[in-house]
Amino acid sequence: MGSHPTVSHDLAYVRLLQGNPQATFDLLQPWMQDAAVAAQWPAHHREPMQVLWLRACHRLGLLEEASAWVQQERDAGVLEAAASGVAGLIALDLDDLPAARMLADAALAVDAGQLEALVARGSVALAEGDQRGARKWLQAALKHHPHDGRTWSALGMASMMEANFLAAQQHLQRAVQAMPEHVETWHALGWAHLMRGEGEAAASAFRSALELDAQDADTHGALAVVLQLSGDHAKAQHHLQEAERLDAESVTAACARAVLSGEVRDPGKLEAVMQQALSRWKPRP
C-alpha cells in the first residue's frame, strides 16, 4: 500500500489512460480492501479512488466483485455519488436494470452531468424499448461529453430500433471512431450499412467486428448475408457454417440460411430479421 491514497490514485489514473486497467486495479485494490481505512478518508480522496477502481473493474469484467463491493459501501453509507454512476453501468452489465436505474439516479441527484450515470439511464431506457426516453438521457450525456463513444453507440442503437438507418450509421461511425475496440458497435454499424444497400461498407464493418472477436456467431451470420448478396457464395457458406458451429440458435445464421437458399430476397425481410436480433439486444456500454 502506498504512503498516501493520492499517490496511488495518480499512478492508477495514468495506468488507466495508458490502457492498462489491470495495473490500475492492482494499485488501488489494497486501499479498497481496507474498509476501515477507506471509511476515514475525506470525500475528496474517497470519491476519485472509488470511481477509478470501479472503472478498472468494469473494463476488466470484474462485475460480481465490484457489485458486492458497491453494496458494502452503500450499506456503510460511504458510496460517493460519482462512484454510484459507474456502479450503474456495472449493474447494467449484470442485467439488473432496477439497480442500474437506482444507482444512476443517485449519482444524477448530485451531479446532473455525471457521464456514466447518464449513459446508464439512457441504456436502461433503450433496453426497455423507450427510444424517446433514451434519447433524452443520451443527448444530455453528449451535451457534457460530446466525444463519448458509449453514448454515440447507444444513440445509434436507438436509431436502428427506429429503422432510421442513416442516423444510425452516422451515430455508430462516431462511436467506432471513439472506441474502435467495441465489437457490438461494429456489428450494428454493419447492419446499418446493409440496410442502406452499402454492401462493401457492411462487409468491412462486420470484418472489423470479427477481428476483435472471431467467435461471435451473429457477426459470422451477418457477414454471410452480405457475401451472398454480393455473389460470393463460397465465402458466404463458410461464414454460415462458422455461425452455426458457434451458435445453432443464432438469428443471423437463420437469416443467412434463408438468403443462401434463395428464400429471402426482399430487403424488407432482412430488416425484420435485423429487428428480431435487436430485440435480444442487451446494453453493454
Could you list the pLDDT tens digit for every one of the 285 residues in the chain?
Answer: 545 777 888 888 899 988 899 999 998 888 887 766 666 666 677 889 999 999 999 999 999 999 999 999 899 888 999 999 999 999 998 999 999 999 999 999 999 999 999 999 999 998 888 989 999 999 999 998 999 999 999 999 999 988 899 999 999 999 999 999 999 999 999 999 999 999 999 999 999 999 999 999 999 999 999 999 999 999 999 999 999 999 988 888 988 998 898 876 666 677 777 676 666 555 554
Contacts of 224 (CB under 8 A, 6+ apart): 236, 237, 238, 239, 240, 243, 252, 253, 256, 259, 260
**Per-domain residue ranges for the chain?**
1-79, 147-285
Contacts of 115 (CB under 8 A, 6+ apart): 85, 141, 144, 145, 148, 151
Sign for the pseudo-dihedral over CA of 68, 25, 89, 13: positive
Instruction: List the one residue out of 51, 171, 184, 22 whose CA is nearest residue 116.
Output: 51
3-state secondary structure of 263: coil
Q: What is the pTM of this model?
A: 0.84
Quick one: DSSP state of residue 114?
Answer: -
3-state secondary structure of 167: helix
Q: Domain 147-285 carries which CATH code?
A: 1.25.40.10
What pLDDT does 285 receive? 44
Do 32 and 69 touch, CB atoms closer than 8 A? yes
What pLDDT does 267 receive? 60
